[in-house]
A and B are shown apart, each in its own frame.
Chain A
Amino acid sequence: DTAVSQTPKYLVTQMGNDKSIKCEQNLGHDTMYWYKQDSKKFLKIMFSYNNKELIINETVPNRFSPKSPDKAHLNLHINSLELGDSAVYFCASSQDLSEQFFGPGTRLTVL
């Protein structure tokens, strides 16, 4: 059974489009996260939700909007995609901050 899953694995799209990435965890964790990993492999927190409530928003542009319909799901919607949004986006979940379980990642390419 996959612990943290994301769809799609690859996303190629044109500038200006709107896209969504879905994430689900079956670990029963209370907290879920979105990270962005750039081409230099730098991994940075974007959002954190605890039991469907937003607890961290790391000065991410308003074009990025997370949504948590329940504590097992955290989706990421991106409006008006820009070239600089190209990256790998990881979803993660945890019960303990120190040990997070990451999804397989979504490689987003904006043309």
Chain B
Amino acid sequence: GQSLEQPSEVTAVEGAIVQINCTYQTSGFYGLSWYQQHDGGAPTFLSYNALDGLEETGRFSSFLSRSDSYGYLLLQELQMKDSASYFCALCEDDKLIFGTGTRLQVFP
């Protein structure tokens, strides 16, 4: 099956910028979504890239390069509340295939 790889953990300080990468091994998909999940909470939608390039939504941006089989989520002006797990997800056929997830810890 498809696999989407993400770093397991990333740490950063408040106010910094952090990039969470997502690499995949498939060519037939509609786009790449990103979700945030706080401990004990539900995944919530952050961003979606149907086309190559950068999508900006406030402090969060997401990037997709189909030729490089690669995407990333960029979080700017980090806040303590951004400490959570982040998942990329391929939109394929009628389903989302989620990545392995990255735990982001933001320190003061």
Q: Do A and B bind each other?
A: yes
Cross-interface CB contact of B43 among A44, A56, A97, A102, cutoff 8 Å: A102
Q: Is B44 an interface residue (CB 8 A)?
A: yes
A42 and B42 contact, CB distance less than 8 A = no
Contact of A97 among B42, B91, B98, B101 (CB under 8 A): B91
Q: How far is the CB of B91 from chain A (nearest CB, A)?
A: 5
Main secondary structure of the interface of B (DSSP, over half): strand
Chain A residues with CB under 8 Å of B61's CB are none
**Contact flag A41-B101 (CB < 8 Å), given A98-B31, A99-B48:** yes
B49 CB → nearest A CB, Å: 9
Which positions 1-38 of chain B face chain A at CB distance < 8 Å? 30-31, 33, 37
Give chain B residues whose Cβ lies under 8 Å from the Cβ of A58.
Answer: 95
Residues in B neighbouring A33, C-beta threshold 8 A: 95
Sort chain A's interface into a size bin: 20 to 34
CB of B84 to closest CB in A, whole Å = 11
Which A residues are closer than 8 A to B by beta carbons?
31, 33, 41-45, 48, 50, 55-56, 58, 90, 97-105
A-B contact pairs, 17 of them (CB 8 A): A33-B95, A42-B100, A43-B98, A43-B101, A48-B94, A55-B94, A90-B42, A98-B31, A98-B45, A98-B91, A99-B33, A99-B45, A100-B96, A102-B42, A102-B44, A104-B41, A104-B42
